[in-house]
Amino acid sequence: MKPILDVKALKTQFLTEYGKITAVDDVSLVVNTGETLGVVGESGCGKTVLALSIMRLVPTPPGKIVSGEILYDGRNLLSLGDEEMRRIRGKEISMIFQEPMTSLNPVIRVGDQIAEGIRLHRGVSKIEAMNRAVEMLRLVGMPSPESIAMSYPHQMSGGMRQRVMIAMALCCDPRLMLADEPTTALDVTIQAQIIDLIDRLKKKAGSSVILITHDLGVIADAAQMVAVMYAGQIVEYGSVSELFLNPFHPYTVGLLESTPKIFGHSLPGGYLKTIPGAVPDMFRLPAGCRFQDRCVHVMDICREQAPEVKEKQLGRLVRCWIYS
């Protein structure tokens, strides 16, 4: 399968008044055509910054992509000019943001907002663009899409706004969709509907998805590949079917044990474990492995030297001294 996205050794930093944070540190990943890659990890581990880096939307300053490559369909996005990148954004790669209100304009009717994107990228007439916008609203399951198109974002529920965002993200049939915690703000039944909707639209358009979440259950349902992030780095990477059945990294094991109802990992009596401790301070990362203070298998070397990524099995990457 040909990768649509091939990220190599990406590093994104923020220079703040308190010091420097490497929010994305040596991240490499591949997304194949038609595939969904799940990215999972606790809050603050760099998921959003990773997606913003791929979109080239990291706020600069204080942020900056300092090294690496982002090969989209063979072209390095980091070497494109702003104008070329604007053309790719929305049309070929689109992003569904964590909080819909931040990316919907409160004073423009949602139909006009969707139509504007269509006109920008497809050069069609105003009427054609509006027809397509209504069709997109219907596709994302809006009841009476014609009247929704005439509404303002604040007149809708959170679930409806999220659907509008998805309609906007998908109106030009992007080849790659980045969905950043698209369901976090929604209740459980709507969550399942939105994940299902993204999956159906992906299959219909033959596109690929990066699905960012802190919930492994969502990934088990919707993704084929998964990258587990911890403190700015990918610590484990592999296919969902293999990684969930046989996790290597102690952090992945901890995540699985703290997630209800995932195959092979429900604990007797239904008790869920939690991973002790907290994520390290990104301004003061320890020498060695970043997971050391929470790891039950920690060894002397873990406190001295940072583990490198190793391919433990074909297509299964892990960053841990146990496997080095």
Ligand X SMILES: Nc1ncnc2c1ncn2[C@@H]1O[C@H](COP(=O)(O)OP(=O)(O)O)[C@@H](O)[C@H]1O
Binding site for ligand SF4 (CB under 6 A): 250, 289, 291-292, 295, 297-299, 302, 307, 320-322
DSSP H/E element including 161: helix 158-170
List the 19-32 sheet strands across, edge first: 19-32, 3-16, 63-72, 75-76
Distance separating alpha carbons of residues 314 and 323, to the nearest angstrom: 14
Among residues 36 and 213, whose Cβ is nearest to ligand X? 213
How many Å is the maximal CA-CA distance in the chain? 67
- The reply to whether omega before 3 is within 30° of 0 (cis) is no
When CB distances to Mg ion are compared, the closest residue is: 48
Interface residues toward ligand X, by CB under 6 A:
14, 16, 21, 23, 41, 43-49, 59, 62-63, 282
List the 93-96 sheet strands across, edge first: 93-96, 176-180, 208-213, 36-40, 225-230, 233-239, 316-319, 309-313
Among residues 42 and 92, whose Cβ is nearest to ligand X? 42
Q: How far is the CB of 83 from Mg ion (least distance, A)?
A: 28
Among residues 124 and 322, whose Cβ is nearest to ligand SF4? 322
Among residues 47 and 91, whose Cβ is nearest to Mg ion? 47
Site string for Mg ion, 42-71 (x = CB under 5 A): -----xx-----------------------
DSSP H/E element including 168: helix 158-170
Residue 62 interaction partner, one of Mg ion, ligand SF4, ligand X, none, beta carbon < 5-8 Å per kind: ligand X
Residue 320 interaction partner, one of Mg ion, ligand SF4, ligand X, none, beta carbon < 5-8 Å per kind: ligand SF4
3-state secondary structure of 83: helix
Q: How far is the CB of 211 from ligand SF4 (least distance, A)?
A: 25
Residue 46 interaction partner, one of Mg ion, ligand SF4, ligand X, none, beta carbon < 5-8 Å per kind: ligand X
Angle between helices 126-139 and 158-170 (to 10 degrees): 130
Is residue 227 within 8 Å of residue 35, measured between CB atoms? no
Q: How far is the CB of 49 from Mg ion (least distance, A)?
A: 8
Among residues 168 and 178, whose Cβ is nearest to Mg ion? 178
Distant-in-sequence, close-in-space partners of 215: CB < 8 Å, separation ≥ 6: 40, 259
Q: How far is the CB of 297 from ligand SF4 (least distance, A)?
A: 4
Among residues 150 and 287, whose Cβ is nearest to ligand SF4? 287
Among residues 174 and 250, whose Cβ is nearest to ligand SF4? 250
φ and ψ of 228, to 5 deg: -100, 120
Binding site for Mg ion (CB under 5 A): 47-48
